[in-house]
Structure formats: C-alpha cells, structure tokens
Structure 1
Amino acid sequence: MTETRAAEIRTVGILGAGKLGTVLARLAVEAGYRVLVAGSSDPSRISLTLEVLSPGAEATTADAVARESDIVILALPLGKHTTLSTESLHGTTVIDAMNYWWEVDGARDNVAPPEISTTEVVARHLDGARVVKGFNHMGYHDVDERGLPSGSAGRRAIAIAGDDAAAVDAASALIDALGFDPVAIGDLATGRNLEPGTPAFGANVPADELLALVEMATADA
C-alpha cells in the first residue's frame, strides 16, 4: 500500500480479536470507519464474537486485513509478531498495541532484547511497514469507557511513539476520531516509556498528566 495520510483512513484493520481488539473495533465502527478484524483462525470462529461485542465489524482473514485496510492495529500477544507477513504489510501504517507479558510470552529475551523497545523489535520484523506504538498503555476496560469529542474537558489521552511522521499523523487522526487526545512522545525507542513497569503504563489520564508520567520514566532512565 502507499503512504497513508490522516485524511485517507477509511478502513481500519485489526489483527487480534481479543479484549482490546474487539473494543477498538467497536469504537472504530462507531466513529464511522469500515472495520476488518482477523483472529488466529477461520473468520467464522470470531463472527459471533464481533456480532455481540463489535457490531458492524467484519470478520475476515489476516491477508484481507493487510490488503484492504488503510491502517492496521496489532492487538495480538507480542510473541505472535513473528507470524505476521512482512510482505503483505509492506508500506502499511501499523499501530503496535502489544505488550510483553511473561505469562504469555515466556522469558523476555526470547521475544525482545531488553536494551530496545518491543515495538522496535516488531518494526524490524515488519521491515518496510510504517510502525508506530499506540493503544498499549491504557487498559482495554478503560478504553471501553468511550472517548469524548475533541476539546472536551477531562478527555483522556493515548500516547504514540514512532519514527515516521506521516504514520504518527495517521495514528493521531485515528486516536482523535475514537475519542482520545493523541500525544506524540518521540521516536520508536521512546516507546519503551509506555511499556509495562513504567509510570505511564496503565495511565487513563488527560494529555498533560500523561506527558508528566512519560517524563518521569525519562528522568529515571
């Protein structure tokens, strides 16, 4: 696919039909996007789940998500990133919403070296994709509380980290449309300040408070 700009997002693809994936799918449908969702197996196995939790979202295959979406969200277990097709996602704006969990992924060294952020590892695998980090620090249950229109008092923020300015802009537009204030915090390496164990992880706060939490992690580094 060609470079995605913010105004060109019409179809949102989500790889992963778990708790976060279905919440984001519902919010994206409500925001007026066409939404495609792929699980780990036959689309028919998630059709009923989407019908109940994300009405309006379409169950499909990972290949169709990659082929037809203007922006793709990764809502899979982190260790599954190596199963993603580098070729099919080449040139696509990809939002990595995944986190490392030892209960699911095993020893971190088996998934991502400790000296770099997990999203940098994902970006290396998806060579040629425009990868940003986002939607990872706020719990799915907090995301599910629904966002607010732009400019609303108390609107909560979602942080983004990325090396590609156009991809950050596109991700920001999606986050805004879903009802949250997008907060760009820096490059992909800076995304480590959004990972589990950092002050910002779990944050469900307005933009100024989120930035303060990110800065705390930077000061402690």
Structure 2
Amino acid sequence: MDRKIFFIDSGRHAGIRGFLRLSAGRRQKRAKAVSKEEAVQDVEAIVLSIPFAKYPDVAPLFNNVPEATVVIDTSNYYPFRERAIADIDGGKPESVWVSEQIGRPVVKAFNAVLAVTLAEKGQPSGASGRIAVPVAGDDPEAKAVAAKLVDATGFDPVDSVGLLNSWRQQPSTPAYCTELTTSELKAALQSADKARAPENREALLCSFASSLVTTLSFPALTTKAHARSC
C-alpha cells in the first residue's frame, strides 16, 4: 500500500502505525526534520489518536491542510480521564464534536477496537472469523480511504453510515471493542441504544475503578475519587 499517512497520537494506537509502516517496508525511507505544519501538507490521510480534550489544541494545525486530505478520528470520550464536555453529555456524537473543534470533516474509525486487538488479531482479507471495524463518515471517498486502512491492518471495514450515527460505535455500545465479525458487527450497530450508552459507560467505569481500589495497594488518587462517586 503506497500512501502517506500522518499520525498525531499519544501511543494508544501504535498498532495502526506499526502495521502500516511494515506494510510499506519495501519503500526507501528518507527522513528529514520538518514541522507538523509542513508534514501534513503532502499526505493522503491524518490519523488522530489523542486525548479527547486536546482536540481544540490541534485545530491550528489544520488551517492549511488541503481539503482533499482525509482526517480519521480514533479517539473516545471518557470524562473521568479528562474533563466533562457538555455537548457530548447532552447527546452530540463524539466525532461531530471533534469535527467542529478542528474545523474539518472527519471519519470515525479504529475507535471501537482495542490496541491489543490491532496488534495481535489482524488477519488476511477473506480469512474466516476476521474481526470487523466500524467506519462512519459523511464523505464516501473519505470513508473509502479509511476502509482501505482498516483492511490493510487486517480487519474488515463495516460502513456504519454518517457521522451523526457514529454514536453507535462509541464506548459502551454493543459494537465497541467486542471483536465481532462483519455480520455480527452490523447487527450490533443496529441494536445500539443511544439513551443507555452513557449509563452503561458509567457503570462499567465504576466497576473498573472499584476493582482497582480493591486490588491495588497504591491506587491512583483520581481512581479513588471516581470510585467513591459511584
């Protein structure tokens, strides 16, 4: 796969980066120091995997990015980890909010798959039981680019329609990090309940935080605080 991808990330989805670099391993690499602003000028896609609340901080980077460049959002909103965002708490899909912050349309992909899944469970196209990954966006051409990247990492892309419906692949929905096949993922996306997802997320986080407080001898103070609020 001969395409240029620029990554802005905190390491969560290093599996995407690593696989795509390996798949392009035959190309000669000539590296030189450039700024982020220069680096994003000649790429087909930009993949964003950063803490959710940091999106407004990277907005200036997109001021001069060509309109044809596809922007892929892989992040998820966890208010306990960063800060509460009223619009999202009020029901706005996460990637719609991201698009508004950076002033660019985005495609939501790779958010509903664990880093360990990306690193270890990719399979060749056509393999039985291949795990599927949802891809949401409003531009068919941009979604096609994201779908090719999903396939290149070893997973089946599933079109989850427009960005307004991307809540169907957000945390605590049936499609989120459940390692489903294509047919199973399509059913999971349809069965998602928007009203219940935030409640499910909070219940899951409370359970996880409580278990940390119980099992760790020196839990983080923020984890303790969250567990006490549950």
Shared fold per TM-score greater than 0.5:
yes
Deviations 1:100-153 (A, max 9, x none): 0123222132x73532101001112232x3411000011111111141111111
Larger Rg belongs to = 2
Q: Mark the runs of 5 or more structure 1 residues left unpaired by the alignment.
A: 1-6, 36-55
Q: Does 1:156 align with 2:149?
A: no
Matched, 1:12 2:38: no
1:138 equivalent to 2:138? Answer no
Decide whether aligned partners of structure 1 residues 57 and 78 sit closer, same or farther in structure 2, where only a CA change above 3 A counts: farther
CA shift at 1:196, angstroms?
Answer: 1.1
Structure 1 residues 65, 98: CA separation in 2 closer, same or farther (over 3 Å shift)?
farther
Percentage of pairs with the same residue? 27
- Whether 1:115 aligns to 2:91 is yes
Amino acid at match of 1:81: Y
| Structure 2: runs of 5 or more not aligned | 197-230
Higher strand fraction (1 or 2): 1
In 2: Cα distance, 1:194 partner to 1:118 partner? 10
One-letter identity of the residue aligned with 1:23: G
Q: Which has the higher contact order (CA 8 A, sep 6+)?
A: 1
| TM-score normalised by the chain length of structure 2 | 0.74
Matching residue within 12, 15, 20 for 1:23: 15
Aligned length: 191
Q: In structure 1, what is the Cα distance between the partners aligned to 2:155 and 2:171?
A: 21
Of the three residues 67, 87, 91, the one matched with 2:41 is 67
User: Greater share of helix residues, 1 or 2?
Assistant: 2
- CA deviation after TM superposition for structure 1 residue 182, in Å: 0.5
After superposition, the CA RMSD in angstroms is: 2.7
Q: Report the Cα distance in structure 1 between the residues aligned to 2:10 and 2:91, rounded to whole angstroms.
A: 30
Contact 2:6 2:46 in 1 (8 A): yes
TM-score, normalising length: structure 1: 0.77
User: Contact 2:167 / 2:194 at 8 angstroms: preserved in 1?
Assistant: no
Task: Quickly say closer, same or farther: Cα 1:148–1:79, change in 2 above 3 A.
Answer: same
The CA distance in 1 between the partners of 2:139 and 2:25, in whole Å, is 23
Q: 1:90 offset after TM fit, Å?
A: 4.6
1:189 maps to: 164
